A and B are shown apart, each in its own frame.
Chain A
Amino acid sequence: MNKEQYEYKINRLLALLLFAIYAVCILLVLLTGANLYKKLTLKNQNSYAQRTAIQYFTTRVRQNDKADAIDVCQFGEADALILKEQIQGKEYETLIYCYDGYLREIFSSSVKTFSPKDGNIIIEMKSLILEKENGTIYAEITDQEGTVQRVELLLRSGKEVLSEK
């Protein structure tokens, strides 16, 4: 093999090597981008689910904030928010609770005849722990990723009821 042929081969190899580096770099940037996009989408999805759950819960409490209309009870093995209302003289109840990875809701005049799996699915949620103390509802909402959010809701009608008693 003469010198010219040897140089030619080296140059070709170098070109090939450069192309390989180029291909690997493209692949790396693409993979990083795809990975980041996946992470961001997942993060946004979780954030949306958590925000929606909190807003839904807060809105339901505010809508039904009347004297003795909101309470916390046990439904199956889970904590449930119970919202009472009168419609044409008949008492109806709405139960909001978490079961089997979802926030669920039941609206009926006889909720006790239902089981937790019968509720309408609202949004994904891992767990919901509720407590009512001194006219305040304390909710601990855990999303699918395990992030815990604590929400405190002061019942506006609570104070008047307490002072009357």
Chain B
Amino acid sequence: MKNKTSLVLMEQLIMLLVFALAAAVCLKVFAYASNVSSKNEAVAQAAVLAQNCAEKLKRSCGESAEEYQTEIGEWNYRVEVLKTESGSDVLGCATIVVYGEYRNSEEKLLELSVAWQEVDTDA
């Protein structure tokens, strides 16, 4: 009788061990899913910020090219404008880069190239 009880106890312990391993994997996957979802949301937000910045650049013909920061939800965004050479006098070019900071780690979320027609001030 004693042997049978010990066997049940052993079986339960093995069961708990296997479960602990499976639960650890599951929790890791949950955390990963949460991070991926949060990043996807941030990339969508970064696209809107980059689009707004592109509209500002086109409106001002590249004059409003300063870097700015904004906090939306849990993410802190930094929008950077890098002017590039288009190879033409009538075409202005820039690259908008949006960085996102989440839990003290910053990463590049999006890069968008933008071009506009330069206004001829002599005309």
Contacts and interface: CB of A to CB of B under 8 A. Distances in A.
A78 interface: no
B48 A151 contact: yes
A40 B9 contact: no
A17 to B, nearest CB: 9
A33 B27 CA distance: 8
A32 B9 CA distance: 28
A163 to B, nearest CB: 10
B1 interface: yes
Contacts of B23: 25, 29
A121 to B, nearest CB: 23
Interface residues on A, range: 35 or more
Contact of A47 (B2, B27, B34, B44): B44
Nearest to B60: A154
Given A11-B9, A153-B55, A22 B34 contact: no
Contacts of B15: 22
Interface of B is mostly: helix
Contacts of A15: 5, 8-9, 12
Interface string A55-80: 00010000000000000000000000
Contacts of A152: 52, 55-56
Contacts of A40: 33-34, 37
A15 B6 CA distance: 9
Interface residues of B, number: 32
B58 to A, nearest CB: 5
Contact of A7 (B2, B19, B27, B72): B2
B13 interface: yes
Contact of B2 (A8, A25, A151): A8
Contacts of B40: 44, 47
B67 interface: no
Interface in A14-52: 14-15, 18-19, 21-22, 25-26, 29, 32-33, 36, 39-40, 43-44, 47, 50-51
Interface of B: 1-2, 5-6, 8-9, 12-13, 15-16, 19-20, 23, 26-27, 30, 33-34, 37, 40-41, 44-45, 48, 51-52, 55-56, 58-59, 72-73
5 contacts: A8-B5, A12-B8, A36-B30, A136-B55, A152-B56
Interface of A: 4, 7-8, 11-12, 14-15, 18-19, 21-22, 25-26, 29, 32-33, 36, 39-40, 43-44, 47, 50-51, 54, 58, 134-136, 147, 149-154
